[in-house]
């Protein structure tokens, strides 16, 4: 595994550049390049070449294209294309996913189809 991939997999919350706070209730289309953590509510589409973190208290209803996705909260929608998806803690994910790497912790609810790509 090269250093770039290793660093990406070990991504942590300290690297987050933008946070949509717990009081946020946003509807629309998000496009960004680096990292975003959603702590509130979001409905729409999300496209990024970087990281998306869905916090444990967040509710997201969206179709997502992101290189790295970490879900600790609620997601209703599809992850259309990703390199790595992590579902942690008591995440609830309702939708189909497509990824190369998938990690699902104990206690996670995942209802949908998973397509593993090469």
Kindly report, residue by residue over 7-28, the tens digit of the pLDDT.
344 455 567 999 999 999 999 9
Return the SS3 of 76: strand
What is the pLDDT averaged over residues 39-56?
Answer: 97
Rounded to whole angstroms, the Cα distance separating 4 from 83 reads 13
Please name which of 34, 116, 39 lies closest in space to residue 82, comparing C-alpha atoms: 116
Rounded to whole angstroms, the Cα distance separating 38 from 50 reads 14
Boundaries of domain holding 64: 3-116
Share of the chain above pLDDT 90, in %: 85
Rounded to whole angstroms, the Cα distance separating 82 from 88 reads 16
**Based on the structure, what is the number of domains in the chain?**
1
């Amino acid at each position: 595994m090269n250093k770039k991939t290793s660093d990406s997999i070990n991504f942590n919350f300290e690297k987050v550049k933008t946070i949509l706070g717990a009081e946020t209730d946003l509807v629309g289309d998000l496009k960004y390049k680096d990292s975003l953590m959603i702590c509130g509510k979001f409905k729409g589409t999300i496209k990024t070449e970087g990281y998306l973190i869905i916090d444990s208290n967040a509710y997201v209803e969206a179709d997502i294209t992101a290189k790295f996705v970490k879900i600790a909260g609620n997601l209703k929608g599809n992850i259309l294309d990703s390199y790595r998806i992590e579902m942690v803690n008591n995440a609830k994910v309702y939708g189909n996913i497509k990824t190369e790497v998938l990690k699902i912790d104990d206690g996670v609810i995942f209802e949908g189809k998973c397509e593993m790509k090469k």
